[in-house]
Amino acid sequence: MSTILVVDDDADTRSMLRLILEPAGHEVVEASDGHAALGLIGPDPLPDVITTDLRMPILNGHTLIERLRSEPRTASIPIVVVSASPDDARALHASGLVEAVVIKPFDPFALEACIRAVIGGRVSVS
């Protein structure tokens, strides 16, 4: 079972991701912004994948990604951007900072397949 940290300021989106990912065999941990996400990442175990929105209050997805990538302990955690900002998300993917992008609104099956591919080590862009 993989642990996925879902970071999104919209509670409905977090619930939807939970409803998609838990039946697929993943444990889901939720955070409402990047600051809360960093607080949830303890010494061990680290999440297997992090999904993050880009536009959030307090600490946005861009800054969260930068902080995660700057720390040796979290630098290799795969990140999937789930965002309604396609240009920003695709630019992050092109830069190599994230493994995959899923654009909102998304197909639940495509999202789950993307997460599965990232966990399996294959890069995917939706």
pLDDT digits (tens, 9 = 90+) for 66-121: 999 999 999 999 999 999 999 999 999 999 999 999 999 999 999 999 999 999 87
pLDDT at 124 over 70: no
pLDDT at 48: 95
Sorted by where each begins, the domain ranges of the chain are 3-125
Picking from 40, 29, 33, 28, the residue whose alpha carbon sits closest to that of residue 8 is: 33
pLDDT digits (tens, 9 = 90+) for 15-74: 999 999 999 999 999 999 999 999 999 777 899 999 999 999 999 999 999 999 999 999
DSSP the chain: --EEEEE-S-HHHHHHHHHHHTTTT-EEEEESSHHHHHHH--SSSPPSEEEE-S--SSS-HHHHHHHHHHSTTTTTS-EEEEES-HHHHHHHHHHTS-SEEEESS--HHHHHHHHHHHHTT--EE-
pLDDT at 122: 59
| pLDDT level of residue 123 (50, 70, 90 thresholds) | low
3-125: CATH topology: Rossmann fold (3.40.50)
How much is the pTM?
A: 0.93
